[in-house]
Structure 1
Amino acid sequence: MAQLKVLLTGATGYVGGSVLSTLLSSTNPLLQQLSISALVRKQQQAEVLQTKGVKAVVFRDLDDAELLTRVASEHDVVIHTASGFHLGSASALIKGLGLRRAGTGGKVHYIHTSGSWNFADSSPDSQGTSPTNFSDKSDLYTHLEHLEAQRPFSQRTTLLEVVAASERQDVSAYILLPPDVYGQGTGFFNQHTMQLFDLVKSALNEGRAEYVDGGLGGAGHVHIEDLAALYDVLLARILAGGDVPVGRDGLFFTETGYHSWLDVSKTISEVGVRLGTWETAQPVSISIEDAAERWMGGDQEMLKNSFCLRNNTSPQLALDLGWKPQKTDDDWQRWIEQTFKTVLNDRA
């Protein structure tokens, strides 16, 4: 049997790098036999990955549709982690897999990394005070179509086209919908996500922790190691020929815990008091306009998606596959404190 070929995008990023290192260290015999390639933008990055046994392909950027299609057509599986917002790259990769399918007659698979922001309503401020609960065993696709008709959102637009294009090209597509991802990455390059770091930096700049939207906003979270492990579990199940939801039914939540941003700001305040950074542990509410300027470069829509939503997403499909996340809310709390200490040390 020919060696199966997997192509990974985003290998130098936080999520993609952690996925790559997880696949390379997998104990699953099916995954140990894979030929793994990765798209990178710099020759130096390619050289690092080649020492890890990864076949690196240097490319310009995600707009290089012709190259993406050609490289994808040489692989059986594509794992796209570089961007859930970039429609052109997703379409080009699926097109390439379709060519592979037509040329070899073998099954091809596309794993797309999106996010729970797709479930942002057209008016986040109108949500209730309690989180809205979603299950990935419900008809999420139809709900997303409804939201998209109300207000297009590029990440959601891309997801819907991924499903449609995969159906046209006879490609099996699976979409992961992580919430906020935290923790130390395990990749060979970028090992951090900046959201919490930026929140702590802002608190240190202002001399206090802050929150927005009356403290009602919240989000789910998942540790990067648990998220990367799901890619391992999903890919192993696919390659074993197991029963895996696909296409419109293959939208996988990955949430393992939920936090309110008020609670996060309280934790930041308490850590600051313990470390002697400030005297009071009372966070302060600020306006959406001010928060957008401080945390999101003035982008109020991004601010609302990040800090004003109240969606709780249940990962029942992933658990059914055998995914066993290990991290708890204690790990989330420790990460907030660790982030604070890291930012504080960097400023010293």
Structure 2
Amino acid sequence: MAPKLFLTGATGYIGGEALYFLTQAHPEYEYTLLVRDEERGKLVSRQYPDLRLVYGTLDDDDVIAKEAAAAEVVIHTADSSDNMPSAHAIAKGLSAGHTDAKPGYWIHVCGTGILQWYDQRHQRFGQAPLPEQTYHDIDDIERIVTLPHEANHRDVEEVVLAANEAGGIRTLIVSPPTIYGRGRGPVNQRSAQVPRIAASTLEHNFAPIQAPGLTEWDHVHIHDLGAFFVLATEAALDPARNSDANIFGPRAYFFLASGSHRWSDVARWVAEEAARQGFISAAVTKEVDDPRLGTNSKGIAARARKFLGWEPRGRGLREEIAETVRVEAMRMGRA
């Protein structure tokens, strides 16, 4: 029988790309997609007419638990880093529908915003990362899975990690950093962070920098993130690998990164490109008070390469800036 997958977030940026890659690589899988309502369901069905949809929100405990119980693999991308009810529902369903002898596998999307905690606690906005703020996802795994409860997304991660003790559940947490590039899902194909800078630049005629402009993040192309979901799902369905604690279990925590950037550099690239395309008069940056641009998120993504053979192949962030500016201008009615 075909493996059964339950995916949340098919209309989202990450979930849509995960679904695109999975259906391209494995059309033989049996997919069930959680969709909020019939209007969005129609958009999904245009691209995937043969896939099964179930309707519900992330608060619909019974719907989510039932589908999780029936699935061999759950891929949770819909507000997964912060939505507590859906995490509890997935844990309940997987535990009810699986046993230690035949566990269910949970691929959970978080985000490296969790690594901002130190700067947020100490209000050190705009500063360069300290050496101890870099986390290696193999060597520093104990530090990662015991981050402070106050860290972004940490409360939901605690639910996911604890699910490994419930019986019948093995988890994998993937925490991508800044994601860029155009997705290929049925609805949202737009990322958040870099387009937000582009939109602000077009609106205010300057690109924002949180002074003194030294904060750093890692980044990954959306296509490389999509490819990861194929590798992780294949591992979940491979008896030779799905019991490997490096891939599934309470220490199976994956960062993904193809490079890193300073937000001040991104602002300059956006300003230069917006001026080149004629949307602003000059390539101007200005200092602003925006803590979203002022905290560090630094991880070393070794686990996916070592244990899943993941290698990023997408275009670099700098090369995507021109397209990002153009798309934002179109979205704002400027082009």
Percent of pairs with identical residues:
27
Q: CA distance change for structure 1 residues 73 and 209 in 2, over 3 Å: closer, same or farther?
A: same
Conserved in 1, the CA contact under 8 Å of 2:177 and 2:297? no
The equivalent residue for 1:274 is: 276
| Structure-2 separation of matches of 1:22 and 1:124 | 39
Aligned residue identity for 1:310: N
Measure how far apart 1:245 and its partner are: 2.5
Match for 1:324 among 311, 329, 332?
A: 311
Q: Mark the runs of 5 or more structure 1 residues left unpaired by the alignment.
A: 292-303
Conserved in 2, the CA contact under 8 Å of 1:69 and 1:95? yes
Measure how far apart 1:186 and its partner are: 1.0
Conserved in 2, the CA contact under 8 Å of 1:133 and 1:314? yes
Question: Larger deviation: 31-40 or 72-81?
Answer: 31-40
1:168 and 2:153 are equivalent in the alignment: no
Conserved in 2, the CA contact under 8 Å of 1:95 and 1:169? no
The equivalent residue for 1:223 is: 221
Match for 1:109 among 105, 108, 129?
A: 105
Conserved in 2, the CA contact under 8 Å of 1:94 and 1:169? no
Conserved in 2, the CA contact under 8 Å of 1:267 and 1:336? yes
Conserved in 2, the CA contact under 8 Å of 1:9 and 1:82? yes
TM-score, normalization by structure 2 = 0.88
Match for 1:73 among 69, 74, 81?
A: 69
Q: Deviations over 1:132-166 (max 9, x none)?
A: 32111034354453422xxx245111012211123
1:232 and 2:230 are equivalent in the alignment: yes
| Structure-1 separation of matches of 2:174 and 2:115 | 13
Match for 1:337 among 322, 328, 331?
A: 322
1:225 is paired with a residue of what secondary structure?
helix
The equivalent residue for 2:153 is: 155
- Following superposition of structure 1 onto structure 2, how do residues 141-290 of structure 1 map, counting pairs within 5 Å? 141-148=142-149, 152-153=150-151, 155-241=153-239, 242=241, 243=244, 244-286=246-288, 288=289
The equivalent residue for 1:19 is: 18
Conserved in 2, the CA contact under 8 Å of 1:14 and 1:185? yes
Match for 2:114 among 112, 115, 118?
A: 118
Measure how far apart 1:48 and its partner are: 4.8
Measure how far apart 1:45 and its partner are: 3.4
| Structure-1 separation of matches of 2:19 and 2:123 | 35
Conserved in 1, the CA contact under 8 Å of 2:69 and 2:95? yes
TM-score, normalization by structure 1 = 0.85
Q: Deviations over 1:236-267 (max 9, x none)?
A: 12212223422221000011111111101111
Q: CA distance change for structure 1 residues 146 and 22 in 2, over 3 Å: closer, same or farther?
A: closer
| Structure-2 separation of matches of 1:79 and 1:38 | 10
Conserved in 1, the CA contact under 8 Å of 2:61 and 2:86? yes
Q: Deviations over 1:147-199 (max 9, x none)?
A: 22xxx245111012211123223300000000011111011111112332221
Aligned residue identity for 2:112: S
Q: Deviations over 1:190-220 (max 9, x none)?
A: 1112332221221122221121131112211
Question: Larger deviation: 69-78 or 270-279?
Answer: 270-279
Aligned residue identity for 1:209: A
| Structure-2 separation of matches of 1:327 and 1:124 | 34
| Structure-2 separation of matches of 1:105 and 1:49 | 35
| Structure-2 separation of matches of 1:167 and 1:213 | 44
